[in-house]
Amino acid sequence: MTFDMNDVAPQQAGDLIPDGTFAKVTMSIRKGGVDGMSEVDRGLLKSSNQPGSDVRMVDAEFTVAEGPFARRKFWQNFTVQGGKLDEQGQSVGWKISKSQFRAMIDSALGLNPEDMSEAAKAKRVLRGLADLDGITFVAKIQVEPNRNPAYKDANKLDHVVLPTAPEWQKVMAGEQVPAQPSNRPRPAAAAPVSAAPAWGQSQPAGSASTPAWSAGSGQSSGQPAASAEAAKPAGGPAWLNP
């Protein structure tokens, strides 16, 4: 048996994607072995590595889909259960993550965030968080300074770019958008910790029943859809049936 390395992409330097970069990215979910609330989320979530924590997270890997930073990756966790609670006893982290996930759907499908028609609302309904595996949307990427000087800074998702933003239009049209740095000051150094976070080695979630976020919805056009077609009844979310 031989291994042909000729079709492998060249090794990339460890430089970060510049702060404030706009790019189309694809999110893959790395299974953490903990069951979620939905049947399709079995083994999907990841537990916090903090002792005694009840936090459960989606471990996301983002890959730049095209442009000068194509194939570059960064990683981020999204709290979906546990952690700090608000006055109503709801997880604060989950409320933040849920808002980000909705924005990803709107960005991916070209939906105006103010479109609350029945067709648009149907496209925002998920069978479970596993349905977000493979979603491609427009993102602004930031450089997040590490509070511990022993570790390097890292790229993170600054925010999801919605179809109502001019940057979304340009990225979807294949134009290069100048970076808009976040200009966040580096925080004061924290006390050293005993070990670096242990990132999971599991593969991205995916199976024959996992929805494939196609380019035939909002991704193929530089303009957001004026109105969404009625969702077809199917086993998965509406973007499976554009």
Mean pLDDT of 147-173: 95
Structural domain boundaries, residue 25 = 21-188+198-224
H or E segment at 159? strand 154-160
Residue 33 CA, chain-centre distance (Å), reads 19
pLDDT class of 189 with cuts at 50, 70, 90 = low
Q: How many domains in the chain?
A: 1
SS3 of 131, please?
helix
Q: Is residue 13 part of a domain?
A: no
Q: Is residue 5 part of a domain?
A: no
Residue 241 clears pLDDT 60, i.e. is over it: no
Residue 186 confidence (pLDDT)? 55
DSSP of 43-103: TTBEE-SSTT---EEEEEEEEE-SSTTTT-EEEEEEEEE-SSB-TTS-BHHHHHHHHHHHH
Q: Is residue 111 part of a domain?
A: yes
Q: Is residue 229 part of a domain?
A: no
Residue 182 confidence (pLDDT)? 81
Q: Is residue 15 part of a domain?
A: no
Q: Is residue 239 part of a domain?
A: no
Tens of pLDDT, residue by residue over 74-108, are 999 999 999 999 999 899 999 999 999 999 999 99
H or E segment at 172? helix 166-172
Q: Phi and psi at residue 131, in whole multiples of 5°?
A: -65, -20
Q: Is residue 181 part of a domain?
A: yes
Q: Is residue 242 part of a domain?
A: no
pLDDT class of 122 with cuts at 50, 70, 90 = very high
pLDDT class of 235 with cuts at 50, 70, 90 = low
Tens of pLDDT, residue by residue over 3-20, are 888 876 555 556 899 999
CA angle at residue 123 from 118 to 125, to 5 degrees?
100
Contacts of 214 (CB under 8 A, 6+ apart): 239, 240, 242
47 DSSP β-pair partners: 56
Contacts of 222 (CB under 8 A, 6+ apart): 169, 170, 172, 173
Tens of pLDDT, residue by residue over 192-224, are 544 444 444 444 444 444 454 544 444 444 455
Mean pLDDT of 24-46: 96
